[in-house]
Amino acid sequence: MIVGTGPSRAGRRPETTFSARTLAFIRMQPPLHPVLTCRFCGQVHRAIPLAGGEVARCVRCAAHIASASRWGGKHAPASFALAGIAFAVPAALLPFITVEKFGNMRTGDFLAGVFALDQHGMPLLAVWVLICGGLTPLLLLTGLALGWRNPASLRWMGGAFGDWAMPDVYVLAVFVALTRLGSIVDVELNAGFWSYTAMSFALLLAWRTHRLQSNASA
| Residues of this chain that bind another protein (CB under 8 A) | 31, 35, 37, 39-46, 57-63, 96-97, 99, 101-102, 104, 106-117, 120, 122, 124-126, 128-129, 132-133, 163-164, 166, 169-170, 172-174, 176-177, 179-181, 183-185
Residues 6+ apart with CB under 8 A from 26: 18
Q: Which is nearer to another protein, 75 or 120 (CB)?
A: 120
Q: Which residue in 208, 50, 212, 193 sits closest to 133, CA to CA?
A: 193
Rank residues 50 and 166 by Cβ distance to another protein and give the closer one.
166
Q: How far is the CB of 32 from another protein (least distance, A)?
A: 11
Q: How far is CA 18 from the centre of its chain?
A: 43
DSSP collapsed to 3 states, 131-167: HHHHHHHHHHHHHHHHCCCCHHHHHHHHHHHHHHCCH
CB of 92 to another protein, least distance (A): 14
> H helices within the chain, ranges in order?
7-10, 20-28, 76-93, 110-119, 123-130, 136-146, 151-161, 167-182, 191-216
- The nearer residue to another protein, 86 or 107, going by C-beta atoms, is 107
Report the nearest approach of another protein to the CB of residue 52 (Å).
19
Pick the closer one to another protein by CB: 76 or 114.
Answer: 114
Q: From the CB of 182, what's the least distance to another protein, in Å?
A: 9
